[in-house]
Amino acid sequence: METNSILLAFTATTIAFLINLFMIPFLISLSKKNNWFDDASDERKIHTGLISRLGGIGIVLSLIVSTTITALGTCQWTHSSLKFSFGNDHNTLLLLAGFLLIFMIGILDDFANLQARIKLIGQIIASLLVIFAGVGIRYFSIPFSEITINLGYFGPVITLIWIVGISNAVNLIDGMDGLSSSISAIATSVYAIIFLLNGYYILSIICFTLMGSVIGYLFYNFPPARIFMGDSGSLSLGFLLAVLPLIASPLSGISLVMPVIMLAIPIGDVLAAIIRRKRKGLHFFIPDREHMHHKLLNMGLDERQILALINGIQIFSGFSIILFYSIESYLRYFPILAAGLLVLTMFIYLHYRHHHSNDNR
């Protein structure tokens, strides 16, 4: 681990945090002048009043500006350990194009309410750009064994499903003040620590920068929220959280362990939504009020109590990931199994509690 990298990570985090901390009030003011507010008439919404939906712009712009400033700063350091490259410049441009496409899709949806089909096509194209850049899921390791399976031609298909799925999972869970942003902030902090410990310095800096940006936004999104991130923020966060681990470990069969555990809550929520809507004969993109946070609200918890519960689970999952990468033996799997079982238990309990409550009405 290099001192220069730690210093750059701290600098990037601070710059991103401060930029977004001061940018968000400007975006809130801009929304008021132009009447750019989130639609509260949707029955699945749990907020009232006029809330700006431009938070994603602040997150992404502060990320880009801070990363650019930090990258320019690396010119003064040793390039050999901090060089920003994913194979070659062409691949890097493809990755950036995919990210910017996802961001633009989110902005268009925030302002024009794109059809679900159009959004999905755009997400697929952005994911394909990542795959064309040589990033993807290529191997799968069987837990508690030394067996690693080469996915071959199935790899790109699984990668496509993974990126589109995670992008939408983070988007769908963005239904309560502070929920998606706090989950993402903890996930990116764990990503950053693991990347730093394993020598992926530039990826660690990107994650620290993203964490600082999200925390700056969270100051205004914590209940009661003054701004929402919109699809431009949630889709962009989901895309980055899905792609960054694949960049770090393209040849590893355990590249999905960290993101699956750290994103187990949004993954569980979207899987529950798929099962629920299929059982009811509804289209997947038909909204409802049966997401995890809705059920917790129905149990009598307020928004801050829900955040405390969910973030507590996130922090536990983060420690399990750090232990996973710190332990060499097969015992490394037990902490992440515990974290996974904790999330699964929560969803099972909420499911049966919700149906029991409905039966008694």
For the chain, the distance separating the N- and C-terminal CA atoms, rounded to the nearest angstrom, is 58
Predicted confidence at residue 88, as pLDDT, reads 54
pLDDT per residue of the chain (361 residues) written in tens, 0 to 9:
456 667 777 888 999 999 999 999 999 999 999 888 776 555 555 555 689 989 999 999 999 999 888 766 655 443 434 444 444 567 888 999 999 999 999 999 999 889 989 999 999 999 999 999 999 999 888 877 778 888 888 999 999 999 999 999 999 999 899 999 999 999 999 999 999 888 888 888 899 999 999 999 999 999 999 999 999 999 999 999 999 999 987 667 788 999 999 999 999 999 998 888 888 877 766 777 888 999 999 999 999 999 999 999 999 999 999 999 998 888 899 999 999 999 999 999 998 887 666 655 5
Give alpha helix (H) positions in 281-302: 292-298
Q: Which helix (H) or strand (E) holds 140?
A: strand 139-141
**Residues belonging to the chain:** 361
CA distances from 285 to 193, 241, 273, 274 (A): 35, 22, 10, 9
Which residue, 61, 31, 54, is CA-closest to 212? 61
Short-list 272, 293, 173, CA closest to 228 = 173
User: What pLDDT is attached to residue 228?
Assistant: 94
Whole-model pTM: value is: 0.91
Q: What is the pLDDT of residue 216?
A: 96
Nearest to 346 by CA among 279, 300, 291: 291
Distance CA 165, CA 299 (A): 28
pLDDT of residue 330: 83
What Å distances lie between residue 121 and 60, 124, 127, 160, 355, CA to CA? 22, 5, 10, 12, 35
